[in-house]
Structure 1
Amino acid sequence: MNATRWGGSGAAARRPLTLRSFGAWAVALAYLMFCISDTMLTLEDERAQLVKIFAFCLLLLAISLRPRFHRLIVLAAPLLFMLGIGLARSFNTDAGMEELLRFLFPIVITVALFAYRDRIDAVMTMFFVVVLSNDLFQCYFYLAYLTGLPVLLPVRIDSGLFLRAQGWMGFFSEFSFINFCAFLLCRQYQPAERFRALSWLFVLFALLGFSFKMFATLAVYPLIARKVRARVWLMGGAAAGVVIWVIANGYLDSVINVASAKIAFYIVEGNSARAESYRVMCESLLNGNFLGEGLGSFGGPASVKYGSPLYGLYHFNWYGLGSILKTTDTFYPHLFVEIGLLGALVWLGFVLRYGQGRRVGMAWLFLVSAFCFDNVFSMAFVSPSYVFSALLVMHALSGLADQSLDSGMVRSRKNFGMRR
């Protein structure tokens, strides 16, 4: 990755329009289209899938304009072979094709991002535009909700206790995650240092999504921060003191009860579709599922839409929500059951490591861990806009680690030359 600063000035910021820059903006536009498709899904607009297909084609166009590949592209052939086996074993061709496309989205996204890694500033600009516009929309959303103005998107209230921030994309979990990614870029990625003052605003909006996964993730962040000033620790201590006082006086009892209920429902008692999906995954793998039970057969929207027989085969318990839930909302059972142990491991290895740097730092590991943890309770890996934001920041942070490694090697060579 070159040393061009994101949002810099001078000649580097005024690059002439070339096929390469056109391709970079095609990748950026694809990200915007994926986000717009999410809004359309929230509004139950059937054309959302067409928008995703258009974005997918933009990515393919960008790759064709600049066919640069990482050495891990050698895994593409066995990966496509395993996906082909999954498609052949699918109980329904339409269901299999839908899930094949979903599994291909992250692959094509990371290949495109690597091809334009030295021009990632264009994609990052679009990312910050999306995040900031979602935050501004959320401010209007709160105002509209309180004053009776048109809210434009459906209101989602959790247990009637608080209004979850969802932005114009309409998904509170993704809203929290993109703000978390923006925060991480501002704090860890050098070209975004001028936006460090905005980082705490991104944290605020990440918390307003009331995603308990995000609460846990942000609580761990100080352990990996490059440098935490004393005043930050002081502010954190003061905030912790205020929270303890508020809890002690019973002001957060309702929120704590919701959190306890979620932990019991999803983890301790295991009486939910999410917990059931992990039971099915374990049974499937123990039965020797190495090549998969077929694309579109379990966990994803196609399996519900087309009525996969696998749910009956494993005596899946929807706990009365079978007519409401469109997925089991857990990615790993979806992946491991449909394409098997071998296919799942290759798929995960390709998506998480393709195009990543020779050396990755703590910030990169933290982001990957946070995203993988998120997918324990979500389908973020096969949500194009969701996984796009994760992969974008991964490429940025791993490129930063590569720059540090290269700089260190140059300094070592110079010092060696001086000693000689």
Structure 2
Amino acid sequence: MRAQVKGYSLSMRMSLPTLGVWLVAFAYLAFCASDMMLSIQNDNSQFVKIAAFAIIGAAVILRPRFHRRILLVGPMLFVFIVAMLRSFNESAGAEEFQRFIFPVAITIALYAYRDRIDFLVSIFIAVVLSNDIFQCYFYFAYVAKLPLLVPVRIDSGLYLRAQGWLGFFSEFGFMNFCALIVCALRGGKRDGILKVIFLIFALLSFSFKLFVVLALYPIVFKKVGWKAYIFPLIVIFALIGAFIMGYLDNITGLAASKISFYVTSGNSARAESYRVMWESLTNGNMLGEGLGGFGGPASVKYNSPLYAQYHFNWFGMGGILKTTDTFYPHLFVELGLIGGALWLYFVITYGQRGMSNRIWLFVVISFLFDNAFSLAILSPSYVFCAFLVMYLCNQMDACEKIMMNKQGEQP
């Protein structure tokens, strides 16, 4: 009888990780569905996101494995309490607190199931492929005047920005970039073809900040051989096509205007938000000026007084823009220098090993660079794929070290 009970208990323990990793995968799919609902302005998007967060919590409870940096959760909670008390509006503070918690919960869950990361990677690749397949339908439907399902994004009247069924071109491009890194790490027979597919669709997002990252890809992955020429060849053919169709002058003019708009001239809400961040930090903002106070959707929704206090210039886009579309000013103004640095350190380094690995560094730097011009880091489906690739880099690095040690032990 004892043997039966022991066997039954062992079987139950062995099945819990499987159930937990399926819950993590289901939560990821729910986060993606929530983003799609948000893109079509479905009011139930937030409820789906909260449900997915609860599922992530259940997965962690089923397998409570934590990295030693979990101790930083205590100081972070103190920072959040201070920032909540300083919030100008309780509802705004609660909404932004929720957004900041999503990345924390996701990285904790991924660490707990890091030994089953391959399953989650397979789910992620399937989502990216479905997104790309939908984009092919989108192009066809746009030309054939069929139902499009998600809103059209035409940049300056020149080109369609690929966004897939999720409905966000920035996330679409970054997901394909992460899938490209996954295939480069695995190096299987099918991965060569998939890398070309993911690269093409990453470029079709027309995310200029992603172009900068992709240009560095051949340098980081030194052993790519002839494949290193895929990216420049695609760019060359695209430029030739644009020249033939008479779009080249328009595209180069658009690129120059974006650089001027966001970087050199600084005449945009994005550039203005960095001015506010600098003023806030130099005024001694250590623990934040209040959750929901600046940069995020809640600050605009509830009309935060910080915009008037810092004489924020929307450059004619007030009442149109829902955010300043920059993450770091949002983070450091609301949580302060200490709070913002603590949160960023936790979500980037929690559970991470082999942080000197060049590919891991490339992924992290790309992730941080991308969020200098967006608020995507607070999107659960976006941050999920970034953390997933970071944990995969850890796993691959650990496997390589084990193999090297075994080879060194052989006579």
TM-score range, shorter chain: over 0.9
Aligned counterpart, 1:146: 143
Deviations 1:117-150 (A, max 9, x none): 0011221122112101111100000000001111
| Cα contact 2:355–2:361 (8 A) shared by 1 | no
Aligned counterpart, 1:7: none
Find the aligned partners of 2:359 and 2:336 in 1 and give their Cα distance: 31
Q: Does 1:298 align with 2:328?
A: no
Change (3 A) 1:239 1:104: closer
Aligned counterpart, 1:348: 344
1:360 is displaced (CA, Å) by: 4.2
1:193 is displaced (CA, Å) by: 5.7
Q: Map of 1:9-408 to 2, 5 A cutoff?
A: 18-189=15-186, 194-229=190-225, 231-233=226-228, 242=237, 251-408=247-404
What amino acid does structure 2 have at the position aligned with 1:316? F
Find the aligned partners of 1:48 and 1:367 in 2 and give their Cα distance: 29
Find the aligned partners of 1:169 and 1:194 in 2 and give their Cα distance: 25
Find the aligned partners of 2:237 and 2:146 in 1 and give their Cα distance: 34
| Cα contact 2:199–2:231 (8 A) shared by 1 | no
Change (3 A) 1:226 1:193: farther
Aligned length: 398
| Cα contact 1:86–1:291 (8 A) shared by 2 | yes
Deviations 1:201-252 (A, max 9, x none): 00000011111011111111111004021x3355566556556766877641
1:282 is displaced (CA, Å) by: 0.1
Instruction: State the TM-score, normalizing by the size of structure 1.
Output: 0.91
Change (3 A) 1:186 1:278: same
Find the aligned partners of 1:70 and 1:59 in 2 and give their Cα distance: 17
What amino acid does structure 2 have at the position aligned with 1:178? M
Deviations 1:83-104 (A, max 9, x none): 1111111111111111111111
Change (3 A) 1:392 1:241: closer
What RMSD in Å do the two structures reach over aligned CA positions? 1.8
1:188 is displaced (CA, Å) by: 1.6
| Structure 1 segments unaligned to the other structure (5+ residues) | 1-15
Find the aligned partners of 2:154 and 2:231 in 1 and give their Cα distance: 28
Find the aligned partners of 2:62 and 2:233 in 1 and give their Cα distance: 53
Find the aligned partners of 1:165 and 1:246 in 2 and give their Cα distance: 18
Task: Extract structure 1 runs of 4+ deviating beyond 2 A.
Answer: 192-196, 231-251, 405-412
282-291 or 121-130, which moves further after superposition?
A: 121-130
| Structure 2 segments unaligned to the other structure (5+ residues) | 1-12
1:407 is displaced (CA, Å) by: 2.9
Q: What SS does the aligned partner of 1:315 have?
A: coil
| Cα contact 2:239–2:248 (8 A) shared by 1 | no
Find the aligned partners of 1:119 and 1:308 in 2 and give their Cα distance: 43
Aligned counterpart, 1:5: none
| Cα contact 1:187–1:193 (8 A) shared by 2 | no
1:168 is displaced (CA, Å) by: 0.2
Q: What SS does the aligned partner of 1:151 have?
A: coil
Change (3 A) 1:339 1:209: same
1:79 is displaced (CA, Å) by: 1.1
Q: What SS does the aligned partner of 1:18 have?
A: helix
Find the aligned partners of 1:81 and 1:20 in 2 and give their Cα distance: 32
Change (3 A) 1:316 1:403: same
Indicate the percent of aligned positions where both proteins have the same amino acid.
Answer: 55
| Cα contact 2:172–2:202 (8 A) shared by 1 | yes
What amino acid does structure 1 have at the position aligned with 2:27? A
Change (3 A) 1:67 1:17: closer
Change (3 A) 1:268 1:174: same
1:17 is displaced (CA, Å) by: 7.7
